[in-house]
């Protein structure tokens, strides 16, 4: 096929070579443009408010940017040590201890990586062997599936059930996500090697509690199965609750990997900075791959983040409230103060326990002038055209894209943007 072959005649003088094609493999045939690109393009085409893509509207703290800048000027511009500077790994270990009660050896159990996505990719390359089955819980962050497949693994998707939401909205009155424990149990077999958990969860906003981890342990304890725990939203947990990391659970700790993102924690998603934590043996396997994948992570940013963390011991714990206020503002504006007594339909929302995402449940009967809506994508497209607001359809996080009746918005925005978003959404009801 022309699109899968590259003609080299522009560069070649030798006639036999001039017309030779090289066959380009398509390693990810199922993958097209990401929904984030599609919705963001549509938003800019229609000048719509972009509440879809998940990044903060605000800058990282000034002090952090200055610390990075002065680290460059101080000469931190060449290769740092492969697993990260020791002072950064030390402050990460201190914070893990103070905030979560996790005891980690900075020498052998922490590796600084260029963002969580690269961290996840490295972990899968290092720990998955050809034919291994890896369970992901869907809806799922979009990088898991392709990264597992590129590592030679087979993805087994276990979906959270949305059926009642579509067929009978009243059945979905509870705003809690019901975790699919039974389906998870039934998906395990002798080839299963890893289960990927994401807490707080993107896009649904639920969190794993101690009882959930215990239940997971009871399911896997007699198998050779480990946990890869994506905890990039660990410092965005609301209503006084505490983030419970997989590393908090003594039985799970020895067979688990935690992945964290500085991009999420310090409002600098474009810097692509994060870390991986796991016991020394697992870390050793991960570093073997990492040394050939990226080798190391941006030196000046490591130094800047270290300095900022040393001087701001409360940043991460204060982030919970910072984002909780944004969630609450959005919900207040969306539902209005008098919604309890009002007969006007309003958007239903899923309980957001953590992350910077809020799920909206749409009920097609509540919206006049709505054409035929066969998928969440149809709904998101209708909304962007009719209300001028971009959201992300939840079906795009699930293989096969079954309609869920839900959309995701990102509330990592300034107050006026959050208020405007709620107004635009309410205008269509």
Which residues form the interface with ligand PLP (CB under 6 A)?
54, 115-117, 141, 198, 202, 230, 232, 261, 263, 269, 272, 274
Asked whether 376 and 405 are in contact (CB, 8 A), the reply is yes
Q: Which residues pair with 197 in a beta bridge?
A: 229
Burial grade of 199 (CB within 10 A; 0-12, 13-18, 19 or more): buried
Question: Nearest distance from residue 218's CB to ligand PLP, in Å?
Answer: 25
Cβ(407)–Cβ(391) below 8 Å: yes
- Nearer to ligand PLP by Cβ, of 305 and 367: the residue is 305
Q: What is the DSSP letter of 230?
A: E
Q: Is 129 left (phi over 0), alpha (psi -120 to 50) or beta?
A: beta
Shortest Å distance, C-beta 185 to ligand PLP: 24
Our CB check for ligand PLP shows the closer of 162 and 275 to be 275
Judged by beta carbon, residue 261 or residue 333, the one nearer ligand PLP is: 261
Residue (121 or 162) nearer to ligand PLP, CB: 121
DSSP state of 27: S
| 230 vs 316, beta carbon nearer ligand PLP | 230
Cis peptide before 344 (omega within 30 of 0): no
Give 232 or 294: the residue with its C-beta nearer to ligand PLP.
232
Q: Which residue has the tokens 């570093």?
A: 287
Q: Least CB distance from residue 19 to ligand PLP, whole Å?
A: 42
CB of 128 to ligand PLP, least distance (A): 17
Please state the closest distance from residue 274 (CB atom) to ligand PLP, in A. 5
Residues 362 and 406: beta-carbon distance below 8 Å: yes
Quickly tell me which residue has 């130094």 as its tokens.
303
Find the shortest distance in angstroms from Cβ 52 to ligand PLP. Answer: 12
Tell the smallest beta-carbon distance from residue 186 to ligand PLP (Å).
25
Residue 167 burial by Cβ neighbours in a 10 Å radius (0-12, 13-18, 19+):
exposed
Which of 283, 265, 281 lies closest to 273, judged by CA? 265
> Residue with structure tokens 């409360």?
314
- Between CA 65 and CA 420 the distance in angstroms is 29
Question: Measured from the CB atom, is 104 or 268 closer to ligand PLP?
Answer: 268
Q: Would you say 359 or 387 has its CB closer to ligand PLP?
A: 359
Least distance CB 233 / ligand PLP (angstroms): 7
Kindly write down the DSSP assignment for every residue of 333-352, as one continuous string. HHH-TTTTT--S---EE---
């Amino acid at each position: 096929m022309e699109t899968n072959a590259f003609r080299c005649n522009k560069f070649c003088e030798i006639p036999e070579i001039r017309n030779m094609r090289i066959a380009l493999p398509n390693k990810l045939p199922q993958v097209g443009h990401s929904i984030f690109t599609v919705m963001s393009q549509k938003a800019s085409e229609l000048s719509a408010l972009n509440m879809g893509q998940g990044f903060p509207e605000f800058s990282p703290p000034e002090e952090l940017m200055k610390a990075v800048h002065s680290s460059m000027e101080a000469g931190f511009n060449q290769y740092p040590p492969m697993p990260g500077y020791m002072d950064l790994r030390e402050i990460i270990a201190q914070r893990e201890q103070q905030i979560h009660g996790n005891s980690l050896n900075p020498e052998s159990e922490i590796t600084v990586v260029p963002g969580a996505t690269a961290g996840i990719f490295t972990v899968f390359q290092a720990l998955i062997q050809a034919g291994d089955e890896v369970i992901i819980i869907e809806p799922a962050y979009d990088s898991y599936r392709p990264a597992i497949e590129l590592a030679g693994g087979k993805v087994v998707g276990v979906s959270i059930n949305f059926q009642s939401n579509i067929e009978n909205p009243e059945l979905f009155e509870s705003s809690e996500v019901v975790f699919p424990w039974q389906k998870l149990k039934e998906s395990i077999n002798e080839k299963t090697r890893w289960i990927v958990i994401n807490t707080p969860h993107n896009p649904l906003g639920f969190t794993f509690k101690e009882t959930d981890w215990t239940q997971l342990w009871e399911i896997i304890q007699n198998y050779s199965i480990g946990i890869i725990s994506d905890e990039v939203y660990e410092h965005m947990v609301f209503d006084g609750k505490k983030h419970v990391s997989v590393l908090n659970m003594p039985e799970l700790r020895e067979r688990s990997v935690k992945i964290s993102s500085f991009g999420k924690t310090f409002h600098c998603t474009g810097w692509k900075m994060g870390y991986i934590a796991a016991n020394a043996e697992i870390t050793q396997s991960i570093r073997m791959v990492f040394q050939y994948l990226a080798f190391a992570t941006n030196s000046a940013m490591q130094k800047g983040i270290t300095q900022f963390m040393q001087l701001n011991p409360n940043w991460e714990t204060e982030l919970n409230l910072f984002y909780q206020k944004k969630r609450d503002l959005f919900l207040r504006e969306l539902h209005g103060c008098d919604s309890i007594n009002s007969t006007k339909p309003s958007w239903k929302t899923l309980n957001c326990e953590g992350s910077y995402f809020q799920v909206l449940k749409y009920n097609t009967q509540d919206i006049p002038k709505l054409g035929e809506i066969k998928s969440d994508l149809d709904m998101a497209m209708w909304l962007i055209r009719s209300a001028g607001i971009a959201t992300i359809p939840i079906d795009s996080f699930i293989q096969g894209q079954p309609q869920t009746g839900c959309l995701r918005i990102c509330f990592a925005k300034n107050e006026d943007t959050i208020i405007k978003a709620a107004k635009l959404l309410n205008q269509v009801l």
